[in-house]
Amino acid sequence: MDPQEFKRFFKACNPNKTLDFGKPDDRQYYIDFAAVRGGEVINEMGEVIVNEAPDPTRQLFTGHIGCGKSTELSRLAENLRAEGFAVISFDSSAELDMGDVDISDILLAIAHQVAQWMQAQQIRVKAGYLSNLVKEAMALLQTPIAVDFEAEASLGFGPFSLGKITAKTKESPQARSQLRQSLEFRTDGLITAINEELLAPAHQILRDRQKEGLVVIIDGLDRIQKETQASGKTWAEQIFVTRGNQLSGLHCHVVYTIPLVLMFSNARQELTQRLGGGIAPTILPMVPVCHKDGRPHGEGLAQLRQMVLARAFPQLTEQERLDRVGEIFEQGLEDLDHLCGQSGGHARNLVSLVLACLQKQKRQLPITRANLHQSLQGMRDDLLLAVEPEEWAMLQQVHQTQQLAGELQQQTLLHSLFVFEYRTQADGRWFSVNPLLQDDPRLKQ
């Protein structure tokens, strides 16, 4: 592999980069894991939107952090655009402080993204309530209204002003608190204003342009981190369950990402009814590396091999990539399969491990077995440092039963990636300890 190809391979293994399905250069790296994940979950979500249109829908999407949700949502967005929908998709962490999020923050972020899209589409509206709210908020936050008035005129109040508000509240806890107090009793009015002053004119323009409707996809809300409240409810339950009726009030198709722990909460059914409108949340599980009985999962491992090899040889067929695996790994498929197995089928962990190996190679391939083992040991050591002594008993129980018991286990073990969830058509649903921890003697005491 020449230096330029090595550099491209290296960049393709950046775990912080989400594949944008709308870009051919990114799409060449995409591997469809639907057959081994238990179903075509993205296609099923798309079917709900297509068949319910023009009636608005809400759908909830979750899974382990780093399992590939953002890539799948990018694919959903492109599929819906091909069906004639306008799609606004954004990462909420660009607008919000994920350690301190409330419902008003989410609504303002949505309003900002819709306003930006409307400006790009040259859709002009005269916003009343929202215009006044923006002026009040900027005065409250002592943010000067120094904006590009020509751009603002296209909306009547402008995405720039909303952007200044969301940027100010993201960087300042005090500003967030002030604005939330101001909006606390006006949330319903804010939702009505978004519907009437932004979404209604947007829908009219889309109808005039023979579009099917508007879809807003909000990624990253699964990373909400605020701690449990004094009431015993998690902050995720407060936002998505207690106030789920308000988040369900937007008059367009909305896809919300939600924290995985909500799937194991006692409030799950209430979540489904309040925010999901009766549609259960969709889970994106891990790619299986083993069956429930411990046998290697041949099809899952085969797909994970292609995930790595596609980044090295994107232009080749699957068989051609396999024929050249020795150019990437010193011991060929044996080393590649070991790497895939140790990742547990976690997409981000797998590319992180490949990148760690490449960093040690001094721009030379193939990856040596010594560097492979060193990279695996480094990730294992980092994970072990995070395991508290009392958590080993919980891990032992999961290892023995392949189940999680109680919300404490769910919150602790899933969020920390100590345990992975798998679903296959043959075995159903089960849980397994992260392979990087499975050889530790404390797991079997």
- Digits of tens for pLDDT over the chain (445 positions)? 899 999 999 999 999 999 999 899 999 999 999 989 877 899 999 999 999 999 999 999 999 988 999 999 999 999 999 999 999 999 998 888 888 888 888 998 999 899 889 888 887 776 677 777 777 766 766 655 444 433 444 444 555 456 667 666 677 777 677 777 777 778 898 899 899 989 999 999 999 999 999 999 999 999 887 665 555 677 889 899 999 999 999 999 999 999 988 888 888 999 999 999 999 999 998 999 999 999 999 999 999 999 999 999 999 999 999 999 999 999 999 999 999 999 999 999 999 999 999 999 999 999 999 999 999 999 999 999 999 999 999 999 999 999 987 766 777 888 889 999 998 888 889 999 999 999 999 998 7
How many other C-beta atoms lie within 10 A of the C-beta of residue 191? Answer: 20
List Cβ neighbours of 196 (8 Å cut-off, separation of 6 or more).
Answer: none
Map tokens 């109808």 to a residue.
207
Tokens of 216: 């807003």
DSSP line for 210-225: T--EEEEEEESGGG--
Which amino acid, residue 74? Answer: S
Cis bond upstream, residue 15 (ω within 30):
no
Do 214 and 202 meet the contact criterion of CB atoms below 8 Å apart?
yes
Evaluate the CA torsion angle 258, 263, 266, 267 in order and state its sign.
positive
Tell me what pLDDT residue 145 has.
45
Q: Name which of 113, 68, 118 is nearest 216 in CA terms.
A: 113
Tell me what pLDDT residue 142 has.
64
Residues 395 and 385: their CA atoms lie apart, in Å, by 15
Residues 57 and 75: their CA atoms lie apart, in Å, by 18
**Measured between alpha carbons, how far is residue 437 from residues 73, 87, 116, 306, 443 in Å?**
30, 41, 46, 25, 8
Tokens of 237: 């339950």
Which amino acid, residue 418? Answer: F
Tokens of 107: 């609504």
Evaluate the CA torsion angle 323, 327, 331, 333 in order and state its sign.
negative
Do 253 and 53 meet the contact criterion of CB atoms below 8 Å apart?
yes
Do 279 and 61 meet the contact criterion of CB atoms below 8 Å apart?
no
Q: Using alpha carbons only, give the angle 90, 354, 331 rounded to the nearest 5 degrees.
A: 150
Do 112 and 120 meet the contact criterion of CB atoms below 8 Å apart?
no
Residues 12 and 172: their CA atoms lie apart, in Å, by 35
Tell me what pLDDT residue 19 has.
92
Domain annotation for the chain: domains and CATH numbers: 3-14+288-386 (no CATH), 39-284 (3.40.50)
Taking every pair of C-alpha atoms in the chain, what is the biggest distance, in angstroms? 69
Cis bond upstream, residue 173 (ω within 30):
no
Tokens of 427: 């075995």
